[in-house]
C-alpha cells in the first residue's frame, strides 16, 4: 500500500480483501462478503467514493448492534411469470438486490420483461452495479430505491424524503454501455458526509441548513436538508420513486426509512428492479448499432464555448474505472483511520 499526499493508495485486490476480511469477521458468509466487497470497490473505481469503503464502518456497526442480519437469506414472498416480491429480511441491501436483479433477468428471458420488488432492505451501494448485471447479458436494467429523509419537498424546509436514486443500464455495440446512475437530489447525501469527514466545504446549491437557508458547510447541510435536482422536477421524481420502491413493495417510505447511521432500529428501505430483454422488442444487433450511432452523434454535437468534450451517461465513470484499476484506489487518511480502528475491533490487521 502506497501513501500519496495524505491518501493511501490500494490495489483493487487489496481493497477487496480488506472489505472481505472485515465482513467475514462480522459474521457475513463468504459469498455475500465477496459480493458486498465487490460493490464497494466498484463504487470506488467509478469515482463514487460516497458509496465505497466509507460505508463499511456503518454496515458493520449496524451488524454489531443487532440492527442488521449479516447472514440473512432473501425470501421470495410471491411470484408470477414476470413479477416477484422479495423480503430482504433486514440483511445487506447488496445481497437482496443482486438476488432481485438475477431473478428479474431470469424471468425476462422467458417473458420479455420482468419487475421485482424488495422490502425490508438496507443501503445497497451504487445502483449502477445492479443494472450492469442486466447489461452484461444483453438486457436493459432499471433500479429504483428509496432512502432515509434527506431532502425537503419543493418549497419545504424539512427533509421528508430520500435522495431516492434511479439507475438505467443500456447495452451498446462497440461503444461502452450507457449507464445512468443519479440521485434525485442535487447531490447524493454521501458526498456531503464525505466532505464533512474531510473537513471540506460543499458547493452552493447543494443544501439548506436547519433554518432553511443555503449553506456550504457540510455539517450544517447534514443537520438541514438537501435540495432536489432541477427543483420541482427532482422532487416529483423522488416522490414517485418512494411510492414505487417503498409503498408498492410494502417497505418503509418517507420518514419511516431510517438513515444508515441511525442506530435506533432497522433501515426498512425498499427497492424496485426491472430487466428488459431487447430481443423481445427489436433486433439485438440493430439495437446495439443504433445505440452506438446515438452515442457518437451526442459525442460529436457542436460544443458550447469552453467545453472540451461531451460525455454520455456513465462514460466518465467507466473511464475512471479503467484508470483506477491500474493506478489503484485512493483512500483518504480519515477513511483509512476509521477502517484501521474498525479492523482493530474485529481483530483484523489491515497493515496500514
Cell numbers at 249, concatenated? 413493495
Question: Do the beta carbons of residue 97 and residue 271 sit within 8 Å?
Answer: yes
Write down the catalytic residue from 8, 51, 123, 271.
123
Spatial distance between the Cα atoms of 120 and 100, rounded to a whole number of angstroms = 13
Would residue 271 show up in a list of annotated catalytic residues for this protein?
no
Residue 305 CB partners (closer than 8 Å, separation 6+):
none
Of the candidates 96, 90, 50, 51, which has an alpha carbon nearest to the alpha carbon of residue 70?
Answer: 90
Beta-bridge partner residues of 166: 144, 182
Which of 141, 156, 315, 116 minimizes the C-alpha distance to 238?
156
Three-state DSSP state, 321: helix
Phi and psi at residue 259, to the nearest 5°:
-65, 155
Number of Cβ within 10 Å of residue 255's Cβ equals 13
Look up cell 438541514; give the residue. Answer: 224
Phi, psi dihedrals of residue 127, rounded to the nearest 5°: -60, -30
Per the document, the length of the chain is 352
Give residues with Cβ within 8 angstroms of 134, minimum separation 6: 101, 104, 105, 140, 141, 169, 275, 276
- Residue appearing with cell numbers 447488496: 94
Task: Give dist(CA 57, CA 332) in Å, integer.
Answer: 14
| Helical residues (DSSP H) of the chain, grouped into ranges | 12-25, 30-45, 56-64, 93-111, 128-135, 189-198, 218-223, 232-242, 284-299, 315-327, 333-346
Catalytic residues: 123
Amino acid at each position: 500500500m502506497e501513501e500519496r499526499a495524505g491518501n493511501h493508495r490500494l490495489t483493487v485486490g487489496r481493497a477487496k480483501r480488506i472489505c472481505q476480511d472485515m465482513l467475514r469477521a462480522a459474521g457475513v458468509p463468504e459469498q455475500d462478503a465477496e459480493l458486498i466487497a465487490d460493490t464497494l470497490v466498484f463504487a470506488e473505481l467509478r469515482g463514487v467514493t460516497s458509496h465505497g469503503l466509507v460505508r463499511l464502518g456503518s454496515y458493520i456497526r449496524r451488524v454489531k448492534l443487532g440492527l442488521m442480519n449479516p447472514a440473512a437469506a432473501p425470501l421470495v414472498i410471491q411470484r408470477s411469470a414476470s413479477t416477484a416480491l422479495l423480503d430482504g429480511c433486514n440483511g445487506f441491501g447488496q445481497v437482496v438486490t443482486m438476488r432481485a436483479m438475477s431473478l428479474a433477468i431470469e424471468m425476462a428471458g422467458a417473458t420479455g420483461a420482468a419487475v421485482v420488488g424488495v422490502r425490508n432492505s438496507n443501503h445497497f451501494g451504487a445502483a449502477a452495479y445492479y443494472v450492469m448485471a442486466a447489461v452484461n447479458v444483453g438486457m436493459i436494467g432499471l433500479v429504483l430505491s428509496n432512502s432515509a429523509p434527506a431532502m425537503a419537498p419543493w418549497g419545504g424546509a424539512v427533509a421528508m424524503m430520500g435522495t431516492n436514486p434511479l439507475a438505467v443500464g443500456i447495452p451498446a455495440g462497440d461503444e461502452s454501455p450507457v449507464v445512468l446512475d443519479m440521485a434525485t437530489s442535487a447531490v447524493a447525501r454521501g458526498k456531503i458526509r464525505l466532505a464533512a469527514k474531510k473537513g471540506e466545504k460543499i458547493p452552493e446549491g447543494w443544501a439548506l441548513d436547519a433554518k432553511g437557508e443555503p449553506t456550504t458547510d457540510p455539517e450544517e447541510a447534514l443537520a438541514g436538508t438537501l435540495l432536489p435536482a432541477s427543483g420541482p422536477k427532482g422532487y416529483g421524481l423522488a416522490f414517485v420513486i418512494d411510492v414505487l420502491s417503498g409503498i408498492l413493495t410494502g417497505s418503509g417510505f418517507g420518514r419511516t426509512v431510517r438513515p444508515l447511521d441511525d442506530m435506533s432500529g432497522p433501515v426498512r428501505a425498499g427497492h424496485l428492479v426491472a430487466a428488459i430483454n431487447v430481443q423481445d422488442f427489436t433486433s439485438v444487433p440493430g439495437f446495439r448499432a443504433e445505440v452506438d450511432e446515438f452515442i457518437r452523434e451526442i459525442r460529436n454535437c457542436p460544443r458550447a464555448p469552453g467545453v472540451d468534450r461531451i460525455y454520455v451517461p456513465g462514460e466518465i465513470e467507466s473511464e475512471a474505472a479503467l484508470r483506477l484499476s491500474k493506478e489503484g484506489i485512493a483512500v483518504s487518511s480519515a477513511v483509512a483511520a476509521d477502517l484501521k480502528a474498525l479492523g482493530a475491533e474485529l481483530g483484523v490487521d489491515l497493515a496500514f
